[in-house]
Structure 1
Amino acid sequence: MMLSRYAKKYSKFIVGQLLFATIWVLSQLAIPRLMVDIIDRGIMVNDMSEIVNRGLLMLLATVVNIISLLISLYFLTRVTAGIARDLRGDLFEKIIDWSKETRGSFSNSTLVTRTVNDVKQVSILIDLFLRKIFTLTITVIGAVIIAFSIDVKMASIILIIIPIIFILALRLTTKALPKYSRIRKAIDRMNQRFRENVTGIRVVKAFNKSEYETKMFREATEEACQSNVQAESTMMLLSPLVLFFTNILILILLYAGGVRSVVGTVTMGALIGLIEYAIMALNNIQQFAAIITIFPRSKVSIDRIQEVLSKEEVLRIEEKTPDLEENLLRFENVDFYYPNSTAAVLHDIHFDLQKGETKAIIGSTGSGKSTLVRLLMRDYDAYRGQITYNGQDIKSLSNAEINQTVTHIPQTTFLFSGTIRENLQTGKKDATDEEIWEVLDDVQMGDFFRQTKEGLDFYIAQNAVNLSGGQKQRISIARGLIRETDYYIFDDCFSALDYSTEKKVREAIQQRLSDKGVLVIAQRVATVKEADEILVIENGNIVGKGTHQELEKQCLVYQEIILSQKSINGGEER
């Protein structure tokens, strides 16, 4: 079982918790037994010394009870918090290493729910098992044993009730389990709807869809609410049934005890003790019945976590071939289909990128540029053909090896909350302030941060709301430039820059990466015109190759792109 694997690490704490929990239960069980002796051996016969002696033992039992409880709770906290931390760490590590194709099996909202809510549910289960289920079980067994030591006939009545309650709990729990599974799925859908609306709030408002999206979110929450009501309606029957049988048992014990006390076969202390242990046993069973409602939910959560942890990476790492000692990135006759699609997105793509060379790929929206980049980063595998880095098939490289070979700077910028220094050091962990200033100057951001009083300690807020789109894009470029890799992919990452700034940044990149392989993906002609070779892509096919001047004369698609951009920019090619 998954949890047993994680629990092994905390076996010493678990043993300590169980040991002190046992001491806590035994000290608790001793108190009513001592009270029986006080009544029968002390009060009934006026023996003051017996009352004092048993009273001191009760006080000692109470002190032991409190101390053992505190120690057991300390050990319990170490176990539950530690396992929750390890589970979340393993889930995050698993998810972060997945390719895009593998990650496509789960929505972002369900991954968040599983990492946060489901792990919390498992943590609650561990807490309940070690702190409640274990102690409740010992308490019930101990109470029954001591009751038998007081009076066998009357204690036998307790044993009749216990199996009835357990059977009821088992049947109701089995019935509720599939309903709790539906709850988790409904919560996933609710989280997804909420996440989409918060992320796309501007679009929602721009298209006046607030009322519609509110309605859809309310429907999602209503679905979660109804699923929860159905599950809880089943389990809520348990506590009243337990309470009913508890009251019946107490009435029987009072009647039988009263009859037997009249004839002198049961003492007053024994009768009170039997009732105490009966109430203790059945109260604990009632708690057990209430707690058992957590198990269906926890079982669903464990299964959902296990589903993520056991998910195998779709893209296998193959055995490395002998290094061909090629200092180039190669796309060789590559075709690609997205999963569950029959339409090819890329057709027979072939090109080489050597170190010290700059190549560019230009095409309209939907032409296949982004898909090509995804293949280069191995988010997916090519359907046919081969992609190699320095002679090694990309399929033989791990994600870490690919990221050590190539730097991808995407169009969509993401900056971490923190200082500008911390953000750039995610690109190069040991980057010095001098290196950071140098790369900020390359992207025309050095002067901006020098003018702030914080300098490199300038704090970037969540979602970088204190920076403009162009500033965010330039910092993203700087974070990529500070890395040391063989190849750099600039994936339409100049789109938010004005023409003058873009030109300065491109010139700095050309000088900085003169000995590296540079691949520029863009829609603007001005961005690619200085490249050593430009590939024109349309509908997944390369329809033109050459320099800007060659394509301007020979490639109809490239000519159309130039004309369309000139018309937009008033006759100026940008």
Structure 2
Amino acid sequence: MKPLWRLNKYLYKYKGLLLLGILFTVISNIFVIIPAQLVRLAIDYVVESKTFFQPLSTGGMGDEARDVFLGYVVIFGVLILVMALLRGFFLFLIRQTIIIMSRRVEYDLKNEIFYHYQNLPLSFYRKNSTGDLMARITEDVSRVRMYLGPAIMYGINLLILFPLVISYMISVNPTLTLYSLLPLPVLSLSIYFVNNLINERSEKIQRSLSSLSTYVQEAFSGIRVLKAFVREEDSARDFDTASEDYKVKSINLTKVNALFFPLIMALVGISTIITVYVGGMQVINGQIGYGVIAEFILYVNMLTWPVTSLGWVTSIIQRAAASQARINEFLDEKNDILSKENLEIEIDGLVKVTDLSFTYPDSGVKALDKVSFEIGKGQTLGIIGTTGSGKSTIANLLMRMYDPDSGQIQIDNENIERYSISSLRRQIGYVPQDVFLFSDSIGNNIAFGLESADDELIEQAAKDADVYQNIVDFPKGFDTMLGERGITLSGGQKQRVSIARAIAKEPKILILDDCLSAVDTKTENVILNALKRIMENRTSIIISHRVSSAKLADHIIVLDDGRILEQGNHDSLMNRKGVYAELYEKQTQSNESMDDSLI
């Protein structure tokens, strides 16, 4: 139960609903006991009336006596019906309080988890899979809600009904109470073990279904590859194997479920037989009336579901505790990327990096080693290097996705750690190498970083990114809806929409992280020429493995294995005849030979 203590703050928050639910449970259980007593009185009344009816009938007063007797029986019937309706009304109120409370807690808990996810650093997402994050905010929260709703509701009902009914049964007939309740502990233990089997097999089914869903998703996402390699039959065969596994596990669960209700009915039947037998012996001995047997049979049936639910509730609590422990594990994760002073000021764009070193905490790979450079306000920096040289790491550190191991980053001569993180990131336009577009309209994707959509600004950003014509050629233009991860667009179009999104927010610092890799050299030149105007009086960083992307930069650094090999402008680096010049010549010759082959 310890992991579930964390939920006490929510129970306290909705204590009004919880207390009302407890009150309604007490009242509804009172209306459960009264009908049983009325049944006993009615049966005893009918039995006793029969002894009076025969003499009265012989004396010629049979019709009048029958009417009186039937009148009282109707009154008993009406009273029992009223009690049942009142109980139903209060059961409705119980669900309107406790179950609604659980839904509100579920809403609050999901929001708490999602908000916490949003505030965790990038390193957290490198360590944990998306599927696991999703499972904790959906499956695990649903299991916790089952504890807060049905488990608490039935648990409270058991705690109130059990002592209420048993104490009354003992007051009526202690011996009959003992015999009639003998099978109930066996019933509870049996249900507990059957529930454990059901849960165990349900878990296996969930895992099997998850694997099946993942396989189907990958098959549909990679349908082009499947068709290209003619693997449709193999894929269908693998799916058939996975489906067979799911079918077998589902049948095994059905077999266990088949035991559930027969087991309950058998033990209730045994309890009823014992009650009738022992009660009948006492009636013969003149110790009790017929009505007591009927009353006790009703009580046994009343207690059957609460006792049955004991095993079920215990199982729910176990699963909820395990799920809450998983949720707590992520909620206890701390964000170590914090602002020291929360400075919220407009930046000019002067960037100074001194002896910057960084090692990725999850992999232990050293990405940067004592890197230093400076970018003046409104200047452009080009960062060139091969894959894994540390180019993208610099972008991540500038936006404080990570903090460096040593060295410092200054913006406008202020340590980057002093700035408010949200304010800093709001003033940086970032175009990632791995483009991500949302399943929304193209216009909304471009306006993603804006406080409010501005059609002129969106259109101008699209023109500057050389994607305007592509967008207006679509039947719905900027209102065209994109598929998952922007699948509606080509690779080059997605990158240009991503560039437009960064430009639209009119950032003080613009970071282009190898964002032109999916476009050809001609389109790259068009975009770079359009960006020239955008980058004027704006600090820009162009990260690329292509020399052509960075040759127009005011200052260029060449990275290799996290170290700066060369730095300077394009002309000075070409004159040096070093790594940059060699890379430039290779790429130029490659482009020329490609153009010749096309001719």
| Fold agreement, TM-score > 0.5 | yes
Q: CA deviation at 1:133?
A: 2.5
Aligned to 1:374: 396
Within 5 Å, which residues of 2 pair with 1:72-151? 72-151=94-173
Change (3 A) 1:293 1:229: farther
1:34-65 per-residue CA deviation (whole Å, 9 max, x = no partner) reads: 21111112454253343222222112112212
Q: Secondary structure at the match of 2:553?
A: coil
1:185-206 per-residue CA deviation (whole Å, 9 max, x = no partner) reads: 8888887777766666656766
1:281-332 per-residue CA deviation (whole Å, 9 max, x = no partner) reads: 1343123323433232222111111111121124454457999x98522221
Q: Secondary structure at the match of 1:157?
A: helix
Structure 2 gaps of 5+ residues are: 51-68
Q: Secondary structure at the match of 1:37?
A: helix
Residue 25 (structure 1) aligned with residue 47 (structure 2):
no
Moved more, 332-341 or 406-415: 332-341
- AA aligned to 1:537 is L
Alignment match of 1:287 (pick from 306, 309, 316): 309
Moved more, 530-539 or 309-318: 309-318
Alignment match of 2:441 (pick from 400, 414, 419): 419
1:478-527 per-residue CA deviation (whole Å, 9 max, x = no partner) reads: 11111143211111111222333322322332212322210010111211
- AA aligned to 1:14 is L
Residue 495 (structure 1) aligned with residue 499 (structure 2):
no
1:122-181 per-residue CA deviation (whole Å, 9 max, x = no partner) reads: 222222124323224433333323322332221133565555666777789899999999
Q: CA RMSD in A?
A: 3.8
Q: State which structure, 1 or 2, has the greater radius of gyration over its C-alpha atoms.
A: 2
Using the alignment, how far apart are the partners of 2:351 and 2:314 within structure 1?
59
1:328-364 per-residue CA deviation (whole Å, 9 max, x = no partner) reads: 2222111222226555321111112232111110111
Aligned to 2:560: 538
Change (3 A) 1:201 1:25: farther
Q: Secondary structure at the match of 1:459?
A: coil
Q: CA deviation at 1:222?
A: 9.5
Using the alignment, how far apart are the partners of 2:327 and 2:255 within structure 1?
26
Change (3 A) 1:409 1:43: farther
Residue 38 (structure 1) aligned with residue 42 (structure 2):
yes
Using the alignment, how far apart are the partners of 1:86 and 1:442 within structure 2?
43
**Conservation of the 8 A alpha-carbon contact between 1:143 and 1:278:** no
Q: Secondary structure at the match of 2:287?
A: coil
Using the alignment, how far apart are the partners of 1:194 and 1:153 within structure 2?
62
Moved more, 504-513 or 262-271: 504-513
Q: Secondary structure at the match of 2:408?
A: strand
Aligned to 2:588: 566
Residue 510 (structure 1) aligned with residue 532 (structure 2):
yes
Moved more, 112-121 or 25-34: 25-34
Aligned to 2:480: 458
Using the alignment, how far apart are the partners of 1:498 and 1:134 within structure 2?
68
Using the alignment, how far apart are the partners of 1:345 and 1:27 within structure 2?
72
Q: CA deviation at 1:247?
A: 4.2
Change (3 A) 1:226 1:102: farther
Residue 14 (structure 1) aligned with residue 18 (structure 2):
yes
Change (3 A) 1:304 1:237: farther
Using the alignment, how far apart are the partners of 1:243 and 1:466 within structure 2?
58
Within 5 Å, which residues of 2 pair with 1:39-78? 39-42=43-46, 44-45=48-49, 47-78=69-100
Q: Secondary structure at the match of 1:333?
A: strand
- AA aligned to 2:371 is I
**Conservation of the 8 A alpha-carbon contact between 1:367 and 1:539:** yes
Q: Secondary structure at the match of 2:89?
A: helix
Using the alignment, how far apart are the partners of 1:463 and 1:3 within structure 2?
36
**Conservation of the 8 A alpha-carbon contact between 1:125 and 1:295:** yes
Moved more, 498-507 or 80-89: 498-507
Within 5 Å, which residues of 2 pair with 1:93-492? 93-158=115-180, 162=184, 245-318=267-340, 327-339=349-361, 344-397=366-419, 399-492=421-514
Q: CA deviation at 1:226?
A: 10
Q: CA deviation at 1:546?
A: 1.2
**Conservation of the 8 A alpha-carbon contact between 2:205 and 2:250:** yes
Q: Secondary structure at the match of 1:13?
A: helix
Structure 1 gaps of 5+ residues are: none
- AA aligned to 1:381 is D
**Conservation of the 8 A alpha-carbon contact between 2:353 and 2:409:** yes
Moved more, 427-436 or 164-173: 164-173
Change (3 A) 1:302 1:243: farther
- AA aligned to 1:20 is F
Q: CA deviation at 1:460?
A: 2.2
- AA aligned to 1:261 is V
Q: Secondary structure at the match of 1:521?
A: strand
**Conservation of the 8 A alpha-carbon contact between 1:95 and 1:103:** no
Residue 528 (structure 1) aligned with residue 553 (structure 2):
no
**Conservation of the 8 A alpha-carbon contact between 1:99 and 1:378:** no
Using the alignment, how far apart are the partners of 1:399 and 1:236 within structure 2?
57
Q: CA deviation at 1:536?
A: 0.8
Q: Secondary structure at the match of 2:496?
A: helix
Change (3 A) 1:276 1:237: same
Moved more, 190-199 or 370-379: 190-199
Using the alignment, how far apart are the partners of 1:486 and 1:406 within structure 2?
6
1:257-304 per-residue CA deviation (whole Å, 9 max, x = no partner) reads: 111111111111111111221232134312332343323222211111
Change (3 A) 1:278 1:112: same
Using the alignment, how far apart are the partners of 2:9 and 2:205 within structure 1?
27
Q: Secondary structure at the match of 2:165?
A: helix
- AA aligned to 2:43 is I
Q: Under a length normalisation based on structure 1, what TM-score does the superposition of the two structures give?
A: 0.87
Change (3 A) 1:197 1:111: farther
Moved more, 53-62 or 22-31: 22-31
Moved more, 102-111 or 339-348: 339-348
Aligned to 2:572: 550
Using the alignment, how far apart are the partners of 1:346 and 1:81 within structure 2?
48
Q: CA deviation at 1:390?
A: 2.9
Q: CA deviation at 1:237?
A: 8.6
Change (3 A) 1:179 1:554: farther
Q: CA deviation at 1:466?
A: 2.2
- AA aligned to 1:457 is D
Change (3 A) 1:450 1:554: same
Count of residue correspondences: 574
Using the alignment, how far apart are the partners of 2:134 and 2:28 within structure 1?
38
Alignment match of 2:9 (pick from 1, 5, 11): 5
Q: CA deviation at 1:69?
A: 2.6
